[in-house]
Structure 1
Amino acid sequence: MPAEHPRIRTFEEYQDAYQRSVENPEQFWSEIAEPFTWRRKWDTVMQADLVGGHNKWFSGAKLNITENCLDRHLEQRGNKLALIWEPNDPKTRGLRYTYRELYQEVCKFANVLHNNGVEKGDRVCLYMPMIPQLAIATLACARIGAVHSVIFAGFSANAIADRINDAQASVVITSDGLDRGAKQIPVKRVVDEALETCPSVRGVIVVEHVGWPVHMQEGRDVWYHDEVAEVEKTCPAEEMEAEDMLFILYTSGSTGKPKGVVHTQAGYMVWTDYTYRNVFQVNENDVYWCTADIGWVTGHSYLLYGPLLAGATTLMFEGVPTFPSPGRYWEVIDKHGVNVFYSSPTAIRSLMAHDINHVLAYSLDSLRVLGSVGEPINEEAWHWYHTHIGKDRCPIVDTWWQTETAGIMISALAGITPSVPARAGLPLPGVQPVLLNQEGQEVEGNDAEGYLAIKQSWPGIIRTTYGDHERCRQTYFGVYPGYYFTGDGARREENGLYRIMGRVDDVINVSGHRFGTAEIENAINQNSHVVESAVVGYPHDVKGQGIYAFVICQDPVDPAEAPRVEASIIETIVAEIGRIAKPDKIQFVSGLPKTRSGKIMRRILRKVAEGETNNLGDTTTLLDPDIVKEIVEGRK
C-alpha cells in the first residue's frame, strides 16, 4: 500500500493541525507532502509573495501527478474500481474502469498525443461531453507534460476561439456530439466553427460518442478510436518540475476578457489531495460522486484529481439531475451505493421544487456525507438536503473556495468540525482568512463583517493568469497588498464560523458559475439594436443569482416589438458566450444612472433589480437623477 497520508479524525486533531500549519507552515506541509511519489524531493517548501503574486511551492521537486493518481496504486489497488461512468440515458450501459484499466487507457492516449506531435509544455484544449474519454484525455495530457485547458461544452464557438487563441493551443480534443438531458449538441460542428479563427491549432482528435456523421478535415482531424488501436498500453510519465504548468482554466473576471487561471504540478497535487481526504472523510471502500462537469474547477479537483490521488472510487455522470425524471440523482445513488455526494445549491433547489415522491422512491441508505459547492447554500435548501436526502444523519460540508484557490478553503470537515446551516464553517489547516475594512485594515474579533482575504500562501494558490501576470497581480494581490483578495464579503460569527455573504465586485455567481458583468455587457453591445448596457446580479430562487440586463437601444423599443428585440439580444449573447450567460430579465431603458464622470452607479441598478426601490440612497450626484425614476417605473 502507498505510504499513509495523515488525516484528521477528531476536532482536537483539527485544532492541532491548524495551529501547526499557522506556526510552522514549512514543516507542516513537508510532512503532508512526504508520502507522495517524488522523482526528487524539494529544496524549499514555500516561497510566499502576497504582494507581487509570485508564489512557489516545493521548488526543486520533480514528479508527475499521474504517477500519484495511477501508478502508485497499481500494486495494492490495481483491481479496485477507479472510475464509474453513468451515462445520460439510464437505458445505456455504463462503464467501469479499475485502476489498472484506467492506467492503461491513460497511457494509450498519452501515446496517441505523442504520435500527434504533442510535446511537453504544449497546450491542449478539450471541449467534450462528460464521458470517460474526457477524464482519460485530461490525465494523458498531464502524463506527457502537456498543459490541459478544459472548456465546458456549453460555450459558444466565439468563446472557444477566445480561449484557444489565448492559450495558443496546438491540439483540440472533442467528440462528434453530446447528450445532455433531452438536448443534443453538435460539439464537433461548434469546434469546427471556432477553429476558423484559431491558426495555432494543427490537430483535432475526435471521440465517436453519439454516432453522428461529422466533417473530418483531412490532415487535421483524426478519430480517437483509430489512433488508440495502434498504440502500446504503457507510456513513461514525463518528469515535471514542481512549478511547471499543469493546467489553464478560464474563468470570468470583472473585465470582458476571460482570464486563464494557471495551476502548477506539486502544490495543486498536495492541496487537492489534502482537502479531499479531510473534508469528505472518504473511506477505502466508499463510492464518491461529485456531480460537477470537468469543464469547471470542481470537476478538476474533486471529480478527477483529488479522488484518484487518494485511491478512491469516483463516479462521473453525463446527464442532468432532472432527466429522464427529477429522481435521477437519487436513482444513481441507490444504483451505485454512493456514500459521499457533492453537488450544488442550484441542483438542490431545482430538485426541491419537484414532488417529494421523486425522493421517497429511493432508499438513499448508502449515503454518509453530503457536500455543497459553487455558492453559499441557503438555509431552506440546507434543511431540505439534510432531512430528505441525508435522513438527518449525514453531515453537510458547505465548501467555500474558488477556481483560483484550486481547492476547498473554508468548510466543515465531515463529522468532525461544526456544520451549521448556511455557514461555510472553519478554515482548513494552512488557510488564514481575515476580514478587511475598506481601508484594508484587519477587522479583529468575532461577530464582525468585512472583505474576505487570505493572509498566508497555501499550496494551491493561483500562480498567474496565462500570458498576463500583471492582471493576476492587480486582481488578487494589488487590491490589498500583502493579502490574496477573494472578491467576497464575509461574516465571522461569535463562534468563529465564517458565513460567505457573496461578491463585492462586478462578478455574478449564476448556479456556481462566475460571469464578469463586463463580459456579458460586451456581448450584449455586439447586438445591432444596442447602444449601451449594464448588467447586475439579483436574487434568484433556483440559481442563487440571476442576470438582470438594463439595455439602451438605438431607437425606442415599442412594447409589441420588445420580445423580438429581446430574442435577438439573447441570440447574440448565446453566440458570443453560450446559453449559460443568458439574462433572466432584460429591461429597455432610455439611459443609465451615471455620475458626472460617466461611471455607472451599479448600486442603484442592483437595488432596482432586487425590487428595493424605496431605498435607493442619494441620487443627487447623478448626471440625470430623473433617469432613476424612469427605470423604477419601467421595472414595475
Structure 2
Amino acid sequence: MSPSEKVYNPSKEIVKRALIKSMDEYHKLYKEAEDDFEGFWDRLAKDKIDWIKPYHKVLDETSAPFYKWFVGGKLNVSTQCLDRHLDKRGDKTAILFEGEPGDKRAITYRELSNEVNKAANLLKNQFNIKKGDRVVIYMPMIPELPVAMLACARIGAIHSVVFGGFSADSLRDRIIDATAKLVITADGGHRRGQPNMLKPVVDEALKDGCESIENVLIVKRNKEKVNWVDGRDHWYHELINDESNVCEPEVMDSEDPLYLLYTSGSTGKPKGIQHSQAGYILWAQLTMEWVFDIQEDDIYWCSADIGWVTGHTYILYGPLAVGTTTVMYEGVPVHPDPGRWWKMIEEYKVNQFYTAPTAIRLLHKVGPDEPGKYDLSSLKILGTVGEPINPDAWIWYHENVGSKKCPIVDTWWQTETGGHMITPLPGATPTKPGSACFPLPGIFLEIMDENGNKV
C-alpha cells in the first residue's frame, strides 16, 4: 500500500492528551447535538462564555433564515479574550511576535489588556468612535493589529480588516461599502527584506469616494517617509501614551456585529460577511479546543495573515479566548532562507502549527530537507487550511515536519462560517492524505443534487 492510500491512526501519546480520545467519543458528542440541538448549544454556551447577562432563549427561529442565537444575552468579546484571564493568566504570554527583520516581543495577557484599553480610549476620545461605527484596519502583521481589533471590540465598534497586500481599489471598495469612519494603518511593514509600504496605498484609496473617512491613524513600523495630510493623519505613538489603561467594556448583545470581513472574491465580487458576538466567539473557542487540543502550557502558531478569516479566528480570537500563547510572524516563510519557519518552531517550542497547503508545497519545493536541520520535537499537531492539500504534500508534511508522529488536521471551512466545519480530530480520527474526514459535532452535513434533493 502506498503512503497516499494508507490510513493514519492517532498515536497513544496524542490520544492520552486529547480532549476527544476516540471515534466513540466523537459519535457520542455528535449524537448529543443531533438529539437535542438547542440543549447541546445551551450547555456549551453556559460553560464557555462569561456572560454579562444570561440569555433567555437559545435559538429564535421566528424570522428564519435570519436566526437569532442566545437571545437577550449580553457579553463583550474583548473580556472573553482578556479580562477573564487576568487573575490566573495575567503574567502568561498572550502573543509571541517576531518581525521579518528579527525583532521580537513577548506580550503578556496583562500587557495586552492594558494596550487594548489604551487604544480603545484613544478611539473614543480622539476620534469619537462609538458603538456601531465601522473602522477599517489595513496593517502589517504587527502587534498593533490585534490591539486595534480588540480595541474596536471593547467599545462596540465594528472592525473591517483589509489584507495588507490588497490594492488601493480593493481598499477603497471596502471603505465605501462599510461607510467606515476611521482607517488604522502603518507607514508600512517588512516583506522579503524590503519595506512594504501601506500608507501610500491608503492615500491613493482616499482620493476618491471615501467621504465617510474622517481620520487616519498611523502606526510607525518601518520608519520610511510617508506623505502627510494635516488634520486627517495622526501618529499612533504620539496619541496612545496619553490614554488611560482602564476602559469599561461596552455591553453588547449576542447578535450585535463583531466584525465585517470581505470574501476573497475568488468566485465573484467580494461579499461583506458579518459575524456577530456570541455565536462566533463560542465556535472559535470550541474549535480551538476540539481541533487543536489546546493545553494550558502549549505554544500555538497559525501562520496565516490576520487579513483573512483564518487569522481572525485562529491567530486572534480563538487562541485568546482559550487563554493560550499565539505566535504572530510578520514576513514570508523563505526569508532569509527556507528554514525560517522551522527555526521559529525550534526556538519557540511550538506545539501546534497551522498553515496553508500552498506554503507547504513551496517549502517542500525550495527546501525539502530544511526541516531535518532543526529540532521540531515540540510539535504535537499539524494543521492545514485554505484549500485542499494534495497527498504528496501531506506525506512530506507528515514525515518531515511532523516526524511521522503528529496528526494532521486538514480543515475545511469558509469566511462565511467563521470556523471549522469539517476536520479530523487529532486524538480520535483515522486520517487519510487529502481527506478532511468528518463534520464537527453540531454541524450536519448533507449532499444534495442540483435540485436540492438529498443523495
SS of structure 2 residue aligned to 1:158: helix
- Tell me, yes or no, if the aligned pair for 1:157 and 1:190 is still in contact at 8 Å: yes
- Tell me, yes or no, if the aligned pair for 1:125 and 1:148 is still in contact at 8 Å: yes
Output aligned runs, 1:263-412, within 5 Å: 263-412=275-424
Deviation at 1:10, TM superposition (A): 3.5
Output aligned runs, 1:208-219, within 5 Å: 208-219=220-231
SS of structure 1 residue aligned to 2:279: helix
Per-residue CA shift, 1:99-144, capped at 9, x if unaligned? 1011001001001100111100000000000000001101100000
The aligned residue for residue 527 of structure 1 is none
- Tell me, yes or no, if the aligned pair for 2:101 and 2:193 is still in contact at 8 Å: no
Indicate whether 1:179 and 2:190 are aligned.
yes
Indicate whether 1:125 and 2:143 are aligned.
no
Output aligned runs, 1:45-84, within 5 Å: 45-48=58-61, 53-84=65-96
Output aligned runs, 1:462-541, within 5 Å: none
Per-residue CA shift, 1:206-253, capped at 9, x if unaligned? 000011121221111111111111011111100000100000001145
Amino acid at match of 2:338: P
SS of structure 2 residue aligned to 1:103: helix
The aligned residue for residue 156 of structure 1 is 167
Moved more, 353-362 or 316-325: 353-362
SS of structure 1 residue aligned to 2:447: strand
The equivalent position to 2:149 in structure 1, one of 106, 126, 138, is 138
Q: C-alpha distance in 2, partners of 1:74/1:103?
A: 8
The aligned residue for residue 176 of structure 2 is 165
The aligned residue for residue 196 of structure 1 is 207
Deviation at 1:153, TM superposition (A): 0.4
Q: C-alpha distance in 2, partners of 1:357/1:432?
A: 41
Amino acid at match of 1:164: I
Per-residue CA shift, 1:147-169, capped at 9, x if unaligned? 00000001111110000000000
The equivalent position to 2:121 in structure 1, one of 91, 108, 111, is 111
Indicate whether 1:97 and 2:101 are aligned.
no
Q: C-alpha distance in 2, partners of 1:110/1:395?
A: 40
The aligned residue for residue 424 of structure 1 is 436
Per-residue CA shift, 1:242-272, capped at 9, x if unaligned? 1000000011457753210010000001111
Q: C-alpha distance in 1, partners of 2:305/2:266?
A: 23
Deviation at 1:64, TM superposition (A): 0.2
The aligned residue for residue 86 of structure 1 is 98
Amino acid at match of 1:249: L
More strand by share: 1
Q: C-alpha distance in 1, partners of 2:407/2:227?
A: 49
Q: C-alpha distance in 2, partners of 1:373/1:252?
A: 15
The aligned residue for residue 9 of structure 2 is none
Q: C-alpha distance in 1, partners of 2:266/2:304?
A: 24
Q: C-alpha distance in 2, partners of 1:33/1:319?
A: 36
- Tell me, yes or no, if the aligned pair for 1:280 and 1:369 is still in contact at 8 Å: yes
Structure 2 stretches lacking a partner, 5+ long: 1-17
- TM-score, structure 2 as length reference: 0.93
Q: C-alpha distance in 2, partners of 1:256/1:340?
A: 34
Per-residue CA shift, 1:13-48, capped at 9, x if unaligned? 211110011111111111111132111111211235
The aligned residue for residue 634 of structure 1 is none
Q: C-alpha distance in 1, partners of 2:267/2:313?
A: 26
SS of structure 1 residue aligned to 2:206: helix
Q: C-alpha distance in 1, partners of 2:21/2:116?
A: 34
SS of structure 2 residue aligned to 1:325: coil
SS of structure 2 residue aligned to 1:433: coil
The aligned residue for residue 42 of structure 1 is 55
Structure 1 stretches lacking a partner, 5+ long: 1-5, 444-636
- Tell me, yes or no, if the aligned pair for 2:339 and 2:367 is still in contact at 8 Å: no
> Quick one: percent identity of the two aligned structures?
49
Q: C-alpha distance in 1, partners of 2:231/2:67?
A: 42
The aligned residue for residue 6 of structure 2 is none
Deviation at 1:359, TM superposition (A): 1.8
Indicate whether 1:30 and 2:35 are aligned.
no
Deviation at 1:437, TM superposition (A): 1.0
SS of structure 2 residue aligned to 1:126: strand
Greater relative CO, 1 or 2 (CA 8 Å, sep 6+)? 2
Q: C-alpha distance in 1, partners of 2:267/2:368?
A: 42
- Tell me, yes or no, if the aligned pair for 1:127 and 1:173 is still in contact at 8 Å: yes
SS of structure 1 residue aligned to 2:360: helix
Moved more, 348-357 or 400-409: 348-357
Summarize the Cα distance change of 1:9–1:69 in structure 2 as closer, same or farther, 3 Å threshold: farther
- Tell me, yes or no, if the aligned pair for 2:195 and 2:222 is still in contact at 8 Å: no
- Which protein has the larger Cα radius of gyration, Structure 1 or Structure 2? 1
The aligned residue for residue 448 of structure 2 is 436
- Tell me, yes or no, if the aligned pair for 1:108 and 1:235 is still in contact at 8 Å: yes
Moved more, 213-222 or 335-344: 213-222
- Tell me, yes or no, if the aligned pair for 1:89 and 1:324 is still in contact at 8 Å: no
Q: C-alpha distance in 2, partners of 1:48/1:277?
A: 28
- Tell me, yes or no, if the aligned pair for 1:84 and 1:97 is still in contact at 8 Å: yes
Deviation at 1:433, TM superposition (A): 0.6
Q: C-alpha distance in 2, partners of 1:286/1:246?
A: 27
Per-residue CA shift, 1:265-308, capped at 9, x if unaligned? 00001111111110010111000000011100000000000000
- Tell me, yes or no, if the aligned pair for 2:371 and 2:400 is still in contact at 8 Å: yes
Amino acid at match of 1:235: C
Deviation at 1:409, TM superposition (A): 0.4
